[in-house]
């Protein structure tokens, strides 16, 4: 059997799209008597491990909840630390990801970031736009409710302008106006740190996703945890609301 056919066989139980709520940076740092910034830096290293694991296992899309819309209400110093980390990785890590064939997309209300950071985000997307090895979506200033609202507003404006009729708004049409337009819905949503909620992440897109909750802080997440997620997924029968046969 060729290597290509072997890979395709292995991908039968591998999700196309994995989405992760990266939680626990602050508590990881607190347990070690470290500042929260140390937790965020350690969390950034976990992103690298997660991405490598996703590539190795043949996942096509990986979405990471990096900065929620609610994060703007944190202490100004922590927000500043987080955006500084973004700038560092955008300036020093994107070239390496590009060489590895990673396509990068950012989803969320990016208008809330300073103009210089938005320039960096745009540059990263354009640089990697032709890559096909894996698509990495980073949710920045993202909220699931806000995503739904902005899609509804855009559709309402189209109806108001006479570009479409209200009855033409279908689920498919609606999904094409979300920030994740063009990306398949996640097959599995993972949350670390032992919390059991979605926290306003991909609310529309996760309607039929398998949910996996791990009792590990995000900075400790590694390839073994990623393998456990895929094992959970492979053992679940996805019915999409269809009644199982007798």
Q: Where are the domains of the chain?
A: 13-143+186-234
What one-character-per-residue DSSP string does 177-226 give? TSTTTTSPPPSEEEE-TT--S-TTSSTTTTTT-EEEE-SS-GGG--HHHH
Taking only the tens place, the pLDDT of each residue in 82-108 is: 999 999 999 999 999 999 999 999 999
* 10 marked as part of a ligand binding site: no
* 28 marked as part of a ligand binding site: yes
Of 23, 147, 185, 187, which residue is the catalytic one? Answer: 23
23 noted as active-site residue: yes
* 220 marked as part of a ligand binding site: no
Of 60, 71, 122, 147, which residue is the catalytic one? Answer: 71
* 177 marked as part of a ligand binding site: no
* 25 marked as part of a ligand binding site: yes
Burial 88-115 (b: 16+ CB within 10 A, else e): ebbeeebeebbeeebbbbbbbbeeebee
Task: Name 211's bridge partners.
Answer: 189
Residue-level pLDDT at 172: 97
Q: Phi-psi bin for 241: left (phi > 0), alpha (psi -120 to 50), beta? A: left
Please name which of 136, 150, 147, 154 lies closest in space to residue 200, comparing C-alpha atoms.
147
Residue 241's pLDDT band, with cuts at 50, 70 and 90, is low
CA distance linking residue 213 with residue 194, whole number of Å? 6
Cβ neighbors of 81 (< 8 A, separation 6 or more) are 36, 37, 40
- The answer to whether the CB of 186 falls within 8 A of the CB of 205 is yes
Residue-level pLDDT at 13: 83
CA distance linking residue 232 with residue 42, whole number of Å? 26
* 68 marked as part of a ligand binding site: yes
Taking only the tens place, the pLDDT of each residue in 39-85 is: 999 999 999 999 999 999 999 999 999 999 999 999 999 999 999 99
114 noted as active-site residue: no
CATH superfamily to which 13-143+186-234 belongs: Decaprenyl diphosphate synthase-like (3.40.1180.10)
């Amino acid at each position: 059997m060729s290597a290509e056919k072997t890979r395709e066989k292995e991908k039968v139980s591998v999700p196309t799209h994995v989405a992760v709520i990266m939680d626990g940076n602050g508590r990881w740092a607190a347990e070690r008597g470290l500042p929260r910034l140390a937790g965020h830096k350690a969390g950034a290293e976990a992103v690298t491990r997660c991405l490598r694991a996703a590539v190795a296992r043949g996942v096509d899309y990986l979405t990471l909840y990096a900065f929620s819309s609610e994060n703007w209400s944190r202490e100004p110093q922590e927000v500043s630390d987080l955006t500084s980390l973004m700038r560092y990785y955008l300036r020093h890590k994107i070239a390496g990801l590009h060489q590895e064939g990673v396509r990068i997309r950012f989803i969320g209300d990016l208008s809330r970031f300073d103009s210089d950071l938005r320039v960096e985000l745009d540059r990263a997307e354009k640089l990697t736009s032709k890559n096909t090895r894996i698509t990495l979506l980073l949710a920045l200033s993202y909220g699931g409710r806000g995503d739904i609202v902005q899609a509804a507003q855009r559709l309402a404006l189209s109806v108001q302008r006479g570009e479409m009729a209200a009855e033409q708004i279908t689920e498919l049409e609606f999904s094409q106006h979300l920030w994740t337009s063009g990306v398949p819905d996640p097959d599995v949503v993972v949350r670390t740190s032992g919390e059991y909620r979605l926290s306003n992440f991909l609310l529309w897109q996760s309607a039929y996703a398998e949910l996996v909750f791990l009792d590990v802080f995000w900075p400790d997440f590694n390839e073994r945890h990623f393998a456990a997620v895929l094992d959970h997924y492979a053992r679940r029968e996805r019915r999409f609301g269809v009644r199982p046969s007798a």
